[in-house]
Amino acid sequence: MMETEVQLKRIHGKLQQLLKENSLLQKENSQLKTDLRDARKQIAGQQESFDNLKQQVDILKYTHGDLDGTDKKEFEKKINSYLKEIDRCIILLSQ
């Protein structure tokens, strides 16, 4: 009988330890998910900032005439796509 009680106490102790470790891991997992979400938001913001700066550089190149033939065609495509988007918005607003 004594041996059984010792084994039960040992099993109970190990179970308590596992429950504590599980709780700590769940908290760590939750914190890591929060950190990941924040990092993704930060990356998205930086990407948007990068895109805006790239657009400004392209505009400056165009206004100073520093574009070669390929860059000029690409820039004109962007302008045309913006104009199409504006036209689409105007049509949607007029309905």
pLDDT digits over 59-90, tens only?
887 787 777 778 778 888 888 999 999 999 99
Residue 91 located in a structural domain? no
Residue 78 located in a structural domain? no
Enter the tokens of residue 75. 């820039």
Number of domains in the chain: 1
Residue 56 located in a structural domain? no
Nearby residues of 62 by Cβ (< 8 Å), 6 or more positions away: 72, 75
Residue 72 located in a structural domain? no
- Name the percent of the chain lying above pLDDT 90: 63
Residue 18 has pLDDT above 90, yes or no: yes
Residue 75 located in a structural domain? no
Residue 74 located in a structural domain? no
Q: Is the pTM of this model over 0.75?
A: no
Residue 89 located in a structural domain? no
State the residue range of the domain holding 28: 1-49
Nearby residues of 78 by Cβ (< 8 Å), 6 or more positions away: 58
Residue 24 located in a structural domain? yes
Cα–Cα distance measured from residue 13 to residue 45, given in angstroms and rounded to the nearest whole number:
48
